[in-house]
Amino acid sequence: MGNASYKNPEILKKIENYCSYQERCKKEIIEKLFTLNLDQSELDDVINHLINNDYINEERFALAFAQGRFRIKKWGKIKIILELKKRAIDVNLINKAINQITDSDYIGTFDKLSLKKYKSLTGSKDSKKRKFISFLSYRGWEYDLIIRKVNDLF
């Protein structure tokens, strides 16, 4: 590695710990490094060190991000894709991450989430429909899935 390791070993350790705590994308690391006032060559040295030592792995990040947001937060593919794009993840990695979600898991999660939401709704039929559509759209579920479910439930 370049001279960053000699100038700032404590920064390197701090960033390694930051990366070890949870999967991070390169964009998040760069944003974190900007707060530490490194010059461009130091920043490049640190990023190269992190990539070469597998602290940053965009594919691993994309796969973990997509799985976590889908399984834990019950996000649909649209929102997961948008959030990965915001993090400057390569489109091929985004596709790989999305494709790891099986159709049966996806539809099963959608069905459970939509039914749970449906049961919790109050108000008039129109108000319930609006809340239902808004809730699922915000979470990135596809409009055709939502409308099909609206037609089934309402």
**Which tokens go with 141?**
């579920």
Cα 36 from Cα 86, distance rounded (Å):
22
Q: What is the pLDDT along the chain (154 residues), one digit of tens a residue?
A: 444 445 678 888 889 999 999 999 999 999 988 888 888 888 899 999 999 999 999 999 999 999 999 999 999 999 999 999 999 999 999 999 999 999 999 999 999 999 999 999 999 999 999 999 999 999 999 999 999 999 999 9
Torsion of CA 118, 121, 124, 127, to 10 degrees: -80
**Which tokens go with 108?**
């099963």
Its pTM stands at: 0.88
Residue range 4-56, CATH number: 1.10.10
Q: Which residues are within 8 A (CB) of 24 and not within 5 positions of it... i.e. 6 or more apart?
A: 18, 55, 56, 61
Q: Compute CA 127 distance to the chain's CA centroid, rounded to the nearest angstrom.
A: 30
